[in-house]
């Protein structure tokens, strides 16, 4: 039986994610949270390139690979 501890239920270590609407709001916060908690790569997708670039710049200090696609 798997552990029901929060650390194992929400473990994102070494996983790859695609976040739609990742340039602002909840999407940007989810992307940052995933990166801060061990995600290997986070792809952020959205309609506004400038917002995607801003979100990527804000996350640059986190130790994960991030990519943005308009």
Q: Which domain holds residue 27?
A: 13-69
| Domain annotation covers residue 2 | no
Name the pTM for this structure.
0.74
Residue 17 corresponds to which tokens in the numbers above? 């994610």
* pLDDT of res. 20: 92
| Domain annotation covers residue 27 | yes
| Domain annotation covers residue 1 | no
* pLDDT of res. 3: 66
| Domain annotation covers residue 50 | yes
Say what the alpha-carbon torsion angle 46, 49, 54, 55 is, to the nearest 10 degrees: 20
Q: Which residue has the tokens 């270590």?
A: 13
| Domain annotation covers residue 43 | yes
* pLDDT of res. 62: 64
Q: How many CB atoms lie within 10 A of CB 53?
A: 14
* pLDDT of res. 70: 61
CATH number of the domain that residue 63 is part of: 3.40.50.720
How many domains is the chain partitioned into structurally?
Answer: 1
Residues 10-50: pLDDT tens digits? 788 889 999 999 889 999 899 888 888 888 888 888 899 89
| Domain annotation covers residue 6 | no
């Amino acid at each position: 039986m798997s552990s029901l501890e929060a650390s194992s239920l929400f473990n994102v270590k070494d996983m790859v994610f695609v976040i739609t609407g990742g340039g602002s709001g909840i999407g940007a916060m989810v992307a940052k949270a995933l990166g801060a908690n061990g995600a290997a790569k986070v792809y952020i997708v959205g309609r506004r390139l400038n917002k995607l670039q801003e979100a990527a710049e804000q996350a640059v200090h986190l130790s994960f690979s991030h990519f943005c696609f308009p």
